[in-house]
Amino acid sequence: MSKHSSLIGGSTAERFVNCPGSWAANMALPPSADVSSEYALEGSAMHAVMDRLMRNRQIGALAQAKPEHWLGSKFIDRDLTQAHIDEMIAPALEQLAELEKIYGGGFKVLGVETRVEFPDVPLAYGTTDLLLGNGTHVVMVDYKFGQGVGVKALYTDEQGERLNAQLCFYLAGALHSCKRLFKGSPKMVIAVVQPRAEEPLTHTVVTKRDIKWFVEDVQNAVAAALDRNPPLQRGSWCRWCPAKISCPKWTGPLLQLADLKLIPRTEVVTKGPSPYGTYLAKAKALVDILAVYTKEVNEQLHAFLEDGGEVPGWKLKAKAKMRQWIDEDEVDKELSKLGFKRWDIWDEKLVTFAKADAAAERLGVKIPDHLRVAPPTNETTVTTSDDPAPAIDRATAIEQFRASIPLLKGTSNA
């Protein structure tokens, strides 16, 4: 049985609410084989490890609630290795412990891989990763084991704060399906544990009013999606939408770009509005959309070919991989025989900011600001007019470059 709804689920909730027409657009796509990527399979395996650890914690089998107990055991399609534990499982458990400490400690495992149904929407269900409770709080935890795009429980941007729609979907389902867990009206918390992200732990308190409004938004979106002409809306929620390559909100700009006539730069540069400046603004907006569209087409092309489809003029080939050293001890031994010195073989460098920040948090200290400064630059970059960063001209950029050089050297002009 599928863990997610074919109508709406946690992973599609944000897109569904903001673009009700996306459901019909995706349903109209031809079926494709369900082929998981290596990253998805790795994430599923690590989820399975955490699930087993939490189930053993739930029944009080504390000796088996440690990852080392399962070292070498198979999870999904792979054996659990020490590298898995060091890079993902152990950091996830550390962040989980920190999360529990923040909200008072004394938590018990209330549910692992709990199937929940969304209220008053047929065929809308999903699965929560972990539910914890301590009498005053119920914490819903979602694991993310990717190291690409960071996922947060709460996002803050120029439009304000917005809750993670996927976690709101699961929490609304839990409130509806597991009412006994919320007796006494405990405070509710949603949290994302993503050990390989820049922010490995994010969390926020969610009110019943927040969930009530979210449920209403979903219900209204479902009604709109099932209407004769469901609305389409382009936005950040389109990122993983398979129907994007045929969506008029994305293909329309292609036609506009084709009709856009190139205007040569013949005028003198001025600070006021000009035909050439207006042309650049329109062209920039269109090519930015085209870049995203191009990426999506390439990904869909690759997936279609891997599923066994045929695309005229295109085929699959083996992906070239960068060479890497074999066993380190063997390399050290062989290169030493050739006359390599120690410093010719081994190279050391400072750790990343993220690793240093994690160590500082563990030690309860603060890294002095003067140890990290932005490298001096006399370059500029283009951004939108509503960007809060101050505008800068070329002359100012050069002056800032000159002033910042002493800072990087650890000296001052005084």
Q: What's the pLDDT tens digit per position in 224-234?
A: 888 888 888 87
Helical packing angle, 248-259 and 275-306, nearest 10°: 130
pLDDT at 130 over 90: yes
Question: Higher confidence at residue 361 or residue 37?
Answer: 361
Who's near 374: CB < 8 A, 6+ residues apart?
Answer: 404
Lowest mean pLDDT, pick from 50-64, 158-172, 215-229, 260-274 = 260-274
Listed residue (97, 108, 111, 240) closest to 166, CA to CA: 240
Lowest mean pLDDT, pick from 114-118, 174-178, 293-297, 332-336 = 293-297
Mean pLDDT (the chain) is 80
Between CA 19 and CA 233 the distance in angstroms is: 5
Position 78 scores a pLDDT of 86
Position 277 scores a pLDDT of 79
State mean pLDDT over 22-29. Answer: 76
Amino acid (one-letter) located at 353: F
Could you tell me which residues are beta bridge partners of residue 124? 8
Between CA 373 and CA 353 the distance in angstroms is: 12
Position 241 scores a pLDDT of 79
pLDDT at 323 over 50: yes
Between CA 390 and CA 410 the distance in angstroms is: 26
Global confidence as pTM: 0.63
Position 413 scores a pLDDT of 42
Between CA 262 and CA 275 the distance in angstroms is: 11
Position 209 scores a pLDDT of 93
Between CA 62 and CA 55 the distance in angstroms is: 10
State the chain's maximal CA–CA distance in angstroms: 77
Position 60 scores a pLDDT of 84
Between CA 202 and CA 210 the distance in angstroms is: 18
pLDDT class of 149 with cuts at 50, 70, 90: confident
Position 392 scores a pLDDT of 59
387 DSSP assignment: -
Over pLDDT 90: what percentage of the chain? 22
pLDDT class of 282 with cuts at 50, 70, 90: confident
Helix then strand then coil, in percent of the chain rounded to 5, is 45, 15, 40
Question: Of 109-113, 404-408, 410-414, which has the strongest mean pLDDT?
Answer: 109-113
346 DSSP assignment: -
Listed residue (89, 16, 27) closest to 52, CA to CA: 89
For residue 242, give Cα distances in angstroms to 12, 143, 237, 287, 307: 11, 24, 12, 20, 14
Burial of 315-345, coded b for 16+ CB within 10 Å and e otherwise, reads eeeeeeeeeeeeeeeeeeeeeeeeeeeeeee
For residue 282, give Cα distances in angstroms to 232, 289, 295: 22, 11, 21
Position 191 scores a pLDDT of 94
pLDDT class of 412 with cuts at 50, 70, 90: very low
Between CA 174 and CA 118 the distance in angstroms is: 8
Question: Which domains, ranges and CATH numbers included, belong to the chain?
Answer: 10-225 (3.90.320), 247-303 (no CATH), 346-409 (no CATH)
Beta pairing, strands 201-206 & 187-193:
antiparallel
Token digits for 376? 């001096």
Position 22 scores a pLDDT of 80
Question: Of 249-253, 254-258, 324-328, 380-384, which has the strongest mean pLDDT?
Answer: 324-328
Who's near 325: CB < 8 A, 6+ residues apart?
Answer: 331
Between CA 133 and CA 106 the distance in angstroms is: 8
pLDDT at 414 over 50: no
Interval 368-395: pLDDT, tens: 888 887 766 656 565 666 666 666 555 5
State mean pLDDT over 149-175. Answer: 86
Position 137 scores a pLDDT of 93
Question: Higher confidence at residue 353 or residue 118?
Answer: 118
- 161 φ, ψ (degrees, to nearest 5): -100, 145
State mean pLDDT over 392-404. Answer: 56
Question: Higher confidence at residue 79 or residue 248?
Answer: 79
State mean pLDDT over 120-147. Answer: 89
Lowest mean pLDDT, pick from 120-134, 182-196, 313-327 = 313-327
Listed residue (201, 60, 189, 209) closest to 136, CA to CA: 189
Between CA 237 and CA 166 the distance in angstroms is: 12
